[in-house]
Chain A
Amino acid sequence: MYNYHTDLVFKIDIALLGVFILLGVMTVLYALMKEASSRRRSREISNIKNNVYELILSGQKIDNKLCLPAFSGITPRQFLDAAVNRSREAVFFNESEQKVIKQCFLSAERAARIEKTAGRSWNKWRRIEAILSLGYAQSVSSLGVLKKSINDSDADLSYFSIIALGQIHSIASARILLDFLKSSRFHRHKVIAVLETFPKEIGREAVLLTHAKDPEVSSWAIKLISKLKPEGCLKEITGLLQDNSEEVRAAACACLGELGDREAKGALIKCLNDDLWLVRAHAVKALSKLLGKECLPEVIRLINDPSLSVIDSLKGVLAEHIVSAIPYLEKFLSGSDEISRRVAREVLEVAGYIVKMLKDILSSGDEEKIRAVRLLEGMAKSGAHFGLEAALMSFSGEEQERILTVIRNMDKQMAEHIAKHMAGEMHKPL
């Protein structure tokens, strides 16, 4: 008989059994503790809410002296629970209650303690809680600590410092964030998301970043400018239309559209001839924002653009200004270019113009009727059918028949196809 080391296997079994029992007990205890701690947390937040409520009811001017007895033991975590409504399902703090708690949280002594935690605690998540509580308490005096933590090598510390700085809506905090945007490759999206909630004046600071060496920094700065719309930056942004980076040129086009200054018209029209589709697509949209329906004569020539994305932008613009676009669409429908015909059909569909066209066919006004029939004929010839069927559903039986008669005169087969589908076959299982 070979030695199977059964005793050793049994010892492993006993060790595993020990681990199993230990882990089992730990798991159950932990689950129970977690339930209890969650209940305790809710209770504590309720107490804070009561204290805040009493303070508000007292009607006195809220100062440190009044706050101290009620909020002496509050921790950063409890403060965040209240200030950010993390436990909203259990206890909800309204805006005025949040204002009181933010006002009461930071006494000079506590601020120093929290700043110390934010700067030095060995527990990273405790540091983050401290950083966030400084932010949510809008502690302007803590900007130095936050500036240090945003540049920390730990990605989490840096990330939550951005959020904290975003809560302090000041020029100084914005400068720290913009410096970070320039110097770091990380969290740029978040920095802009935070800064877009800042006052307009920050936009001027962002303009300085538009000439950064890194095109990514420039384009993020331009995106921020288009959200904040600061005054007097048109010249700088127009100048960026000549930038070497297509990303910057495209962002500049979009920004000019958002700024809404008609002086940019000429520069944007030039961009319709840009070598890169990204710039052309943004220029089309920007011109529409800037000029409204007046942009159509300029942008319509891009119907033959080799890029589908540019055509997509054009479709959006045509649908947006559908009434003014009808003469162009008629021309496309009667033309021989398949892409133009498809664009026209889709624009009519997306803009919801088909129902109006059918109503016009039934109307007594001659001019409207003739135009509508011409448009319908164009659609019929270009092979459109689904849009017609759905639109016809909203008419009465007699009206449907009148419209179908008009279609029958144009294309008998198509009228039959539509009638068949309207009978409900389209909605049956395949």
Chain B
Amino acid sequence: MSIILARITYAMFFVFLGYFLLLSAFYFFLSFVGFFEGRKRSWESEEEDYPLIYLSGIAIPVTIVIPARNEEAWIRDSLLSVLNLNYPKFEVIIVDDGSQDNTFGVVDAMLKLRPIDIPYIKHYKDGLVHAIFKSEKYPHVTVIRKQAGVKKAGSVNSGLNMARNEYICVVDADTVLDPNALLKVMACVEREPGKVVGVGSYFGLANDLKIKDGRVIERNLSFNPIIAYQNLEYIRSFIGNRIGWSKYNAMPVVAGGFSMWRRDILHALGGFSADFTCEDIEFTFRAHAYLAKNKDKDHKIIMLPYAVGWTEGPGNFRSLISQRSRWQRVTDETVAHYKYMIFNPGYGSFAFLTIPYFLFYEVFGVFFEIGSIIFVIAGWALGMLDIRTFFAFILLMVLSQAVISLFSIFSFIRVQRIFRPRYIIYLIVLSFVEFLWYRWIISAAKLLGTYTFFRGVKEHNQYQRVKRVKV
């Protein structure tokens, strides 16, 4: 019996070791590619002639859709930031998705709304629309009031039904945009308008930032470890990971907080789907599948390193677990739905790079991570592993995670000047100890997400909003 156990322990040791080494190698590769790609984008942005775009008579018009549900704390700043955007041609559509709080009242007070009676054609599934309003103060702003129940996808689809422009930008109602966000993103689109079908960009966490009238007036980033760890994760995900994917046109997700899509693609795909827990990752997968099927090899779904805005992140563990379990669930749902693409040559780099990674790390990674820690502790407790091997393995887990984070931080500060040196040192320290505690909270959330996936839960549970301090 003990021989069999020893053999199993021996085999498992190398399985887990292989997992961490493979994952680290993969991340190093992506960070390396992302470093150069991010640097290229940063140069492009520095040399771009933005006034030429701003003053152009042929600037590409954009429709900004803001889905809002119970966002009374954020909607004012979010909306003001959108109204203050430096871009010549854009319209704004706010969709009040059956808010139970005073979201509509805040919007009404800001915009001076008047109801209008215009045809509303349902191209995309959105639920019952009650009324449509126009702002008397800002003629380019429309507000739709609808009944809740078709998730965020339904709200965005409502906006799409009213949208008139060639590019659609979806912005979360708790996101405050940088005044030049649209200009920077559209500069990239205008370079290849026929090719760019989707664009995402980095955004940071707004918690503890001083925001007044839609503008960030003090960028003192939060030292609260929950927020700082999320900042670290955003950097790892956006800069250390997605920019690398973007280089190979294999971007797995254009994040819903700020996403830009070409309207013909949205139309061809029938808008966003409410059949999944969240809409962003599934839509990105669907867009890749559609474009590959139609042999559109020139298309690009790209990720930019510019800080386009700031969004609210969960302020406590309960909210964090709720959000992350939702993210895990939608990842599982999407990968399960699009499993037919894996290693299918028709889907190019997306099938050979992105989906295997998703399956390996995003879906099954949590089992490897939790399994590995249980394995080393049990192996040591049962005397199968000696103390040196135990420590060597634990150190490997800690360091591989820390080095991955550090690569991303380095790439990030190469292209951004958001973080001050003190904050960078803080993030480096946090990255070293991440595996000792924070990682397991996220793993627990992922386990919960996987469990709810198998139970077939699909609801989009909104976590509790942080109370905002008035500036």
Contact = CB atoms under 8 A, between A and B. Distances in A.
B406 A27 contact: yes
Interface string B29-42: 00000000000100
A430 B389 CA distance: 62
Interface string A175-199: 0000000000011011011101100
Interface stretch (B169-177, B269-277, B421-429): B421-429
B47 A345 contact: no
A212 interface: no
A319 to B, nearest CB: 11
- Scoring B44, B49, B417 by chain A CB atoms within 10 A of each residue's CB, the highest score goes to B49
Nearest to A388: B117
A395 to B, nearest CB: 14
Contact of A34 (B17, B116, B399, B413): B413
Interface stretch (A97-105, A137-145, A155-163, A408-416): A155-163
B145 A28 contact: no
Interface string A323-348: 00000000000000000001001100
Interface stretch (B97-105, B323-331, B434-442, B454-462): B97-105
Contact of B17 (A9, A80, A166): A9
A187 B188 CA distance: 11
B410 A30 contact: yes
B353 interface: no
Given A26-B410, A38-B417, A20 B395 contact: no
Given A10-B392, A223-B58, A30 B413 contact: yes
Contact of A190 (B6, B105, B191, B399): B191
- Scoring A24, A156, A159, A345 by chain B CB atoms within 10 A of each residue's CB, the highest score goes to A24
Interface in B54-90: 55-60
Interface in B411-470: 413-414, 417, 419-421, 424-425, 428, 432
Given A19-B403, A129-B47, A9 B52 contact: no
B118 A23 contact: no
Given A2-B10, A187-B191, A227-B57, A28 B100 contact: no
A429 interface: yes
Interface stretch (A233-241, A275-283, A285-293, A379-387): A379-387
A427 B115 CA distance: 10
A122 interface: no
A172 interface: no
Contacts of B57: 196, 227
Given A6-B386, A430-B147, A20 B403 contact: yes
B145 A4 contact: no
Contacts of B10: 2, 4
Interface size range of chain A in the complex: 35 or more
Contacts of B193: 189
A16 B400 contact: yes
A387 B115 contact: yes
A390 B108 CA distance: 13
A200 interface: no
A259 B97 CA distance: 45
A103 B52 CA distance: 22
B47 A128 contact: yes
A129 B48 CA distance: 11
Nearest to B195: A186
A190 B145 CA distance: 38
Contacts of A390: 114-116
B47 to A, nearest CB: 6
B385 interface: yes
A28 B428 contact: yes
Contacts of B105: 427, 429
B218 interface: no
A125 B43 contact: yes
Given A9-B392, A13-B399, A426 B131 contact: yes
A164 to B, nearest CB: 9
A289 B118 CA distance: 25
Interface string A89-122: 0000000000000000000000000000000000
A20 B17 CA distance: 19
A270 to B, nearest CB: 27
Interface residues of B, number: 72
A14 to B, nearest CB: 9
A389 interface: yes
A247 B328 CA distance: 46
A274 interface: no
A13 B389 CA distance: 12
A384 B46 CA distance: 52
A426 B115 contact: yes
A49 B132 CA distance: 52
Contacts of A160: 47
B145 A430 contact: yes
Contacts of A190: 190-191
A23 B407 contact: yes
B396 A386 contact: no
A430 B47 CA distance: 49
B147 A28 contact: no
Interface string A5-43: 010011011001101100110111011101100100000
A212 B64 CA distance: 36
A13 B6 CA distance: 24
A345 B132 CA distance: 14
Contacts of B53: 193
Contacts of A30: 410, 413-414
Contact of B192 (A4, A186, A391): A186
A371 interface: no
Leading 8 A-B pairs by shortest Cβ distance: A390-B114, A16-B399, A386-B115, A9-B392, A386-B117, A2-B10, A193-B56, A23-B406
Interface of A: 1-2, 4, 6, 9-10, 12-13, 16-17, 19-20, 23-24, 26-28, 30-32, 34-35, 38, 80, 84, 86, 125, 128-129, 132, 155-156, 159-160, 163, 166, 186-187, 189-190, 192-194, 196-197, 223, 227, 308, 342, 345-346, 349-350, 384-387, 389-391, 393, 426-427, 429-430
18 contacts: A2-B10, A6-B392, A9-B393, A13-B399, A19-B406, A20-B402, A20-B406, A23-B403, A28-B428, A31-B424, A34-B417, A80-B47, A125-B43, A155-B191, A156-B40, A308-B121, A342-B119, A345-B117
